[in-house]
Structure 1
Amino acid sequence: MTDYNTTDTSFIIPKLRGLYAALAPLTVLYMRVIAGIAFMVHGWPKITDPMGRIGMVEGLGFHPGWLWAPLLAATEFFGGLLLILGLLTRPAAFACSIVLCVTTYFHWIVQAEGFGGAETSLLWLGITLYFVTHGGGRFSADRVIGKQF
């Protein structure tokens, strides 16, 4: 997991080094929790009716819909929960990243909205890819148990 070391950086205002070092783990926690909440909020309607999105996923080319719709629901809801906890952070973030790649494709290509339509998905993808590569950070369950994927 990343410990945010600011000692290798030369600062214009050197006294800020300590502030940045103290805030870095908290901002990672904030980003992970907000991302997890967003995924859970998007996943909640799907998890309460996992077969309700069959037509949508089949419309995107994912057949059979009875398989992909519940997987989408579980990925969004439980992936978000795992992100909040910082438990199995990398696999949860990877699964959420796949969902975001699909939503990017959907908005950019299928809906022909271009960058403007896909922008939110691209931003969230950047956040989830951060957690794929960096892990959950100092304040995560992964760190508490001393194991990470």
Structure 2
Amino acid sequence: MTELATNRPRLIVPALGGLYAALHDGAETILRVAAGLLLATHGYGKILNPFGASGMVESLGFYPGAFWSPLLSATEFFGGILIAIGLFTRPAAFAATIVLAVTIYFHGVVQGEGVMGAEKSILWTLILLFFAIRGANGHSVDAKLGRQF
């Protein structure tokens, strides 16, 4: 038995151990694909009008808006696609984490909504931070290429 295995808590229902082991990678893959597709869906409208958020990003102090708005659009749309397929997962998820951290500030502070107004952004930031740190698993293009950041 490895040291890692001995440090894990024992299951209350040991018979479920095989089920948990079998679903482990699949559940992580579903979360990554869903997060990526939802991020790309959110960025789809922005990618159709990449300069449309110029005023909003400038109101947050990001000048010039003509630079930051297309970058925001590309991060959400193309980054979401990359996360979903598991290609360059860590850098794409890291970029999206930064974007979503700004949305926490926007909703929580600028809009004055506090934690309750920023809760979705907080959740999204943490999900993407997980993939920025963890990377993609074996069900990804990164794994098929045999390389990842």
What is the TM-score of this pair, normalised by structure 2? 0.93
| Aligned mates of 1:55, 1:12 — CA distance in 2 | 54
| Aligned mates of 2:96, 2:128 — CA distance in 1 | 7
User: Number of residues paired by the alignment?
Assistant: 144
Matched residue SS, 1:15: helix
1:63 to 2:35 alignment: no
Tell whether the 8 Å contact from 1:44 to 1:77 is kept in structure 2 after alignment: yes
Shift of 1:56: 0.8
| Higher helix proportion | 2
2:50 equivalent in structure 1: 50
2:126 equivalent in structure 1: 126
| Aligned mates of 2:91, 2:23 — CA distance in 1 | 26
1:36 to 2:33 alignment: no
State the Cα deviation string for residues 79-115 of structure 1 (Å, max 9, x = none). Answer: 0000110000000000000001000000000000000
Identity of aligned residues (%): 53
1:93 to 2:58 alignment: no
| Aligned mates of 1:61, 1:105 — CA distance in 2 | 12
State the Cα deviation string for residues 63-93 of structure 1 (Å, max 9, x = none). Answer: 0000000000000000000011000000000
The AA in structure 2 aligned to 1:74 is A
| Aligned mates of 2:38, 2:112 — CA distance in 1 | 24
Tell whether the 8 Å contact from 1:7 to 1:17 is kept in structure 2 after alignment: no
1:11 equivalent in structure 2: 11
Higher relative contact order (CA 8 A, sep 6+): 1
What CA RMSD, in Å, does the superposition of the two structures yield over aligned residues?
A: 1.2
Q: Show structure 2 runs of 5+ residues with no match.
A: none
The AA in structure 2 aligned to 1:21 is A
Shift of 1:60: 1.0
